[in-house]
Structures are given as C-alpha cells and as structure tokens.
Structure 1
C-alpha cells in the first residue's frame, strides 16, 4: 500500500462515521427534508420554505435546538418534536449516504491488503445503525466491525484498548482515523497513532 505510507505497518484501522466516512450533513439534511414533507402533509405548511429555513439554521448554527427554532418560526406544535426525534433514528432516506471518495479508496485498499476495519461511533446507537444500513458501502460492509460507545457505556479510549487486547495487537499496530479533537484526545490517552480523515488521499 505504497500510496498510504503512514498505514503500511498497521494491522487494524479504527474509524468514526460522521464527517470521517461520510458527511454528517448528508444524513441530517435528508431527515429535515422528510420532516418538512411530513409537516406539509399534516399541517398544510409549505415544505420547501420549512426545509430552506432548517438548512440555513443548521449550516449557520448547527443542529442544537433546531426543532424549537423551526416550531417557533412556523407555528408548529411542540407535539411534533416526537416525530422529529423519531425521524433522526429510523428515517428511510430518499438517497443513500455516499462515502467520501478518498475514504472509499482507502477502505478498498485496506480490504485488498487484508487489514481489519473497525468503526467506533458515538451518538444514539439506533441512529448510527440506521446510517450504516443506508450507506452505499460498495461491498465493503461485510468487512466492517462496529462498536457503539453509548451501547457499551465506555469511552472511546476504553473501546480502543479492548479492540487491541482482543486482537493481540500493540498500540503501534493500529491507526485511528477521526475528524475532531475528541477522537484525537481519546487516541492519545492510550498512545494510539491518529490521523485526520482529510489527510487521507491518493
């Protein structure tokens, strides 16, 4: 795997999902689309206007408090919070989630080299599993091992260490691929090599 010199001596690769393997917004914007359509059907309010508002708020301020802002803006009953939350967990997306091109190529190379691929992801386990099920893996799904931090009630560092122990590997045999300071910090807690996903390219 000469095109990835930083990975040539690693046996196992540990990834997060959101903004590492695919953009988190690709899932959320489809959830917002479905919610806007639901409100149009239920309350006869314009779906496109609602979606445009939600997209702008999300892009400018993130997803925190988005339902409350939208409900206030369009006079949507608070009871719809349940539907909004439920869609995050089990939405049937109009479009499959697509891996970043560089990550798809990287994962394909890892499979060809018979390296182990592990996903350790935070967030609601049901929601994260829903994302995994609706991702276009291009045949890679059968090579994935997945751990949900909230389901295990462990920190990422603890899960990383358990993965090493269960595979009889040392710290130098693994590489964590992340996209934020939390992933980097958790890796450093047990001296695991870490790389930002954006730095992986062909």
Structure 2
C-alpha cells in the first residue's frame, strides 16, 4: 500500500510511534547496551552476556520480563530497577532512531500534499518524547503534532482523538489512524475514524 491508495479526501493522519514509524527494538536495544555498561562499571558484570540475555528475553517474552531475567541470571540487586526505569525514559542514545523507509516516504508525501501529521502514542510521556527527540525525521519534525495519550486516557479510549479533533477544527471523516495493535484499532473504532494496519505499508518484521 502507498499514499495514493488512501482516500484522497483525508485531511489528517494519526500515527502511533513504536513499531509504526520506527522499530521499537532500535530504542530498547540501545538502552540495554547502556544499562549493561552501567552494571559493568558498578558491579563488574559481563556487559556482552547481559546484552545477549536482555535482547533474547525481549524477543521471547517482551520488555517487561527483561529486568527480572537479569536478576535471576546475574543476581542484579533490585535497587537497580529504578536506574533501569530512569534510563529507559531518559537515555541519550549512541545512535539516532531511523524511520522505516516506507513510513518516511509516506510521511513525506503527506506533507507535500499539505495534510496534517499527528502522533498519538501510548506509554510514559517522558519516554515517548525522548524517543521522538532522538529520531531522524529528515526535517519532518516541524510538521509533527504530538499527543501523549497517557496524559488523557491511554488508547483504546478515544479521549485523545476527540481532543485532537476539537483543537484542530477537524471532522471525524477527515482522519485516518495508522497503527499496529488492537489498542489502535479499537481506538479508531471508538472514535469513529478510519483505521489502517501498518503492515499494509511495511514489509519488515515488527520485532
């Protein structure tokens, strides 16, 4: 699917961030590397082995299982959970986050066509903003309008979409949401706006 396949009457596009505009693992893996380096310095643990464990745990069980796996395998003190969470929200990444090429092309075409671009993202607002600030937008950042759903009510609740529509003088028929989860799909349905699964645009694995 490409931009020209989308209803040309749409005036605004709403995107989730993680695994829609860029691969979330690109952020997480860099944070895992930084955290392993921190534990190497403070506890003299093997950073390569920790990174390997964290990435494999993420792939097999998800991010929420990562710190527990470190505790079990390396006897990491529970006090470091706070450091892990702080780093997850505020890390200065070694490398910029890169958009999926297909999504970069799509965003550029939307801007050229003078349509509005919104990011409506779930999750810790501090962390999500940190990701946005460290993404290579190729100049598109000046056109982005970001809403952090947790500051209203997280998706699938439609509150953020209703706020967006009101603040920007839009109609329901003007919007289309592009996401990757049931939360996004149900949010679009509850809001009364069209929804497109991101898999229609990108051909790479989401993890």
Q: What TM-score comes out, normalization by structure 2 length? A: 0.92
Match of 2:54 in 1: 54
Residue 164 of structure 1 and its aligned partner are, at CA, apart by: 1.9
8 Å contact from structure 1 (residues 120, 148) kept in 2: yes
**How far apart, CA to CA, are the structure 1 residues paired with 2:26 and 2:77?**
26
Matched, 1:125 2:125: yes
**How far apart, CA to CA, are the structure 2 residues paired with 1:32 and 1:11?**
39
Comparing 63-72 with 92-101, which one deviates more in the overlay? 63-72
Output aligned runs, 1:11-30, within 5 Å.
Answer: 11-30=11-30
Q: What TM-score comes out, normalization by structure 1 length? A: 0.94
Residue deviations 1:7-35 (CA, integer Å, cap 9, x gap): 41110111110011011111111111110
Residue deviations 1:114-154 (CA, integer Å, cap 9, x gap): 10001111100000000000000000001000111112346
**How far apart, CA to CA, are the structure 2 residues paired with 1:152 and 1:159?**
6
Residue 3 of structure 1 and its aligned partner are, at CA, apart by: 4.7
Match of 1:176 in 2: 177
Match of 2:189 in 1: 188
8 Å contact from structure 2 (residues 3, 109) kept in 1: no
Structure 2 unaligned residues grouped into runs of 5+ = 203-207
Output aligned runs, 1:107-146, within 5 Å.
Answer: 107-146=107-146
RMSD: 1.7
8 Å contact from structure 1 (residues 7, 175) kept in 2: no
8 Å contact from structure 2 (residues 57, 65) kept in 1: no
Structure 1 unaligned residues grouped into runs of 5+ = none
Comparing 4-13 with 151-160, which one deviates more in the overlay? 151-160
Number of residue pairs matched? 201
Match of 2:105 in 1: 105
**How far apart, CA to CA, are the structure 1 residues paired with 2:168 and 2:126?**
26
